[in-house]
Structure 1
């Protein structure tokens, strides 16, 4: 199986650029499918990959007593969840509304409500220190709500959308989702709008400051 490594660019810190590699099938970039997967699942694959990484970072935090490790993965968890949430709001939820009609709008509205709750909790968590007594409890409460949202999205919302998309459309949304995450804020801003175009404007205003402050944060 022919593969290549795509470097996912994370924030700079201590003068170095963090790059997180993950392996993709070379055919993906030639406009064909992931190995052994139908291309029409490309959008779902992209979102599930983020979900898996969030779960990994959560486990890193709760699975250690080392404060430095917890701090580094706290920042990475925040960075990933903030970008993922806005990417969905700008790309995926409008797709629900476009392709699924009234049912899609209902799904999108519910998912935005779920996101708002998670954003509020993430805003609290991202400002905490690893030594804070409520640090782990805050994360666990956040992840409990996030995990419920993830299950509903993966089991119900995304399959409903994928059934309405051909392979090219799913792949196009997946690429748009990944591109969008490059330009959005890397921290939670729960008071910002959650629908385009206002969310786009707010995101473009907040993102540069977030990325600047990322330079001074610790990452794995």
Structure 2
């Protein structure tokens, strides 16, 4: 059975929270690096897919959808800027843990608002079939979008789509040279 869009997004949120916990609770620099890459990979893809699939659905299906989408895009922009800094830090950098904690604090507020308000409103406006189809589109889109943060890129279709399709291959190739955790879904599961 295909999950509804809210379930797919919530699963991404739980994954991000788990990767965050691994980063801040580990004392192993190699493990922290692997989960830093995994966190970045997941959050970048998740954000792009929401902006391309979910936010246009807010605008289409909800009376207050345009305002919701603009607010969420603004929150995403702030998170993308923080993620850009975090993805470029080394575990040995003095600001490594502080940066991920600050990022997660802002992200946690965004997640809470999405899960307790925005996505509930969207689910109420969609049929089960529409929600499941959107969930499929969301998953497919995550394959095509960049896997790193690019905060200066446009955040609305069609320009976000065009820039993302040009940027994504570069990110995806670079991912093959990054370390990722074993036993997680990532672009590079065989790298040790």
**TM more than 0.5:** yes
* Partner residue, 2:178: 217
Q: How many residues align?
A: 181
Counterparts in 2 of 1:141-180, with a 5 A limit?
A: 141-180=102-141
* Superposed displacement of residue 65, structure 1: 1.2
Counting helix residues as a fraction of each chain, which structure ranks higher? 2
Q: Normalising by the residue count of structure 1, what TM-score does the alignment of the two structures yield?
A: 0.81
Distance 2:168 2:122 in 1: 29
**Larger-Rg structure:** 1
> Does residue 97 of structure 2 align to residue 136 of structure 1?
yes
Task: Indicate the residue corresponding to 1:60 in structure 2.
Answer: 22
Structure 1 spans left out of the alignment, 5+ residues: 1-27, 35-41
Structure 1 runs (4+) deviating above 6 angstroms are none
1:1-220 superposed matches below 5 A: 28=1, 42-101=4-63, 103-220=64-181
Report deviation, 1:173: 0.5
RMSD: 0.7
Distance 1:164 1:122 in 2: 32
| Structure ranking higher in strand proportion | 1
